[in-house]
Amino acid sequence: MQEKLKILFIGDIVGRPGREVVKKFLTDNVQQKYDYVIANVENASHGFGLTKKNHDELLSYGVNIMTSGNHIWDKREIFNYISESEVLIRPYNYNPEVLGVGYRVFDDRIVVINLLGRTFMVPVDCPFVSLEKIINELKDKGIFDNKIIFVDFHAEATAEKQCFARFATELGVSCVIGTHTHVQTADECIIDEQCAYLSDAGFCGSKKGVIGMEYSASLKKLKLSINERFDVETLNPYVLNACEVEFFKNRATSINRISFEYYKQEEKESEN
């Protein structure tokens, strides 16, 4: 069994600029020996949801595993293919009747779990109780021991994320990476010499926008308190936020943040 393993986790991909900077980064770093490339894709199609076309596009760039969040349902076609995808994971703590799966086992080596937080978020089942349920299921199936347990915790509040990560460590989880805020935090650490943690991986998209969306629309909504249509910002530069996590057996040994910038030749595009 392979004892050392290296994972690249890519923060929330926002629209075409996010997809393009992911392609550029993975192309420029093809020599890097990542065992798995995981990406949060809930905003990858025009900033809201994920189309089948963009799902396949990201696979072609080298993304192996896709996590998501509350926006994964924003493109209606997701209901036509989410149960067919072998790499896409939706948050586990939705109602069990919801299509898709909340965790997957890959190569009998790594378990990737997706959970939603509840503070300032949509009503869902408790992520703490849900994680306990998943761990018990894995143990009952005999697929917990010596596995890397990797969690994308899609949540708003830092306190909830920190508390969840410590709780997850006590259950034997190997890594908890936060997503959703689109702002990369600087609190990476290894909890109890076991679990890698980062409150938020950040995002991939235009650095000139507001969490990837156009500044003008964001300003209008926040200043006037009225609903406004959001479009993906396409101005240079594009940024990729991610982190690299290394493991020995089922314990994290290092975690490092990545912030990669890319300038496109064309300044503006009509399609996002």
In 3D space, the residue among 201, 191, 162, 190 whose CA is nearest the CA of residue 254 turns out to be 190
1: burial class by Cβ within 10 Å (0-12, 13-18, 19+)?
exposed
Element (H, E) at 163: helix 158-170
Q: What gap in Å lies between CA 263 and CA 243, rounded to an integer?
A: 21
- Kindly report the number of other CB atoms within 10 A of residue 100's CB atom: 21
Angle between helices 52-61 and 15-28 (to 10 degrees): 20
Considering 46, 55, 71, 180, which one is annotated as catalytic? 71
In 3D space, the residue among 110, 171, 112 whose CA is nearest the CA of residue 146 turns out to be 110
Residues 6+ apart with CB under 8 A from 168: 131, 149, 151, 176, 195
Q: Which long-range contacts (CB under 8 A, 24 or more apart) does 128-132 make?
A: 128/164, 128/167, 130/92, 130/93, 130/102, 131/164, 131/167, 131/168, 131/171, 131/173, 132/171
3-class DSSP state for residue 104? strand
Answer yes or no: 71 catalytic. yes
148-154 β-sheet, strand order:
103-106, 110-116, 148-154, 175-179, 195-198, 189-191
Q: Which residues are annotated as catalytic?
A: 71
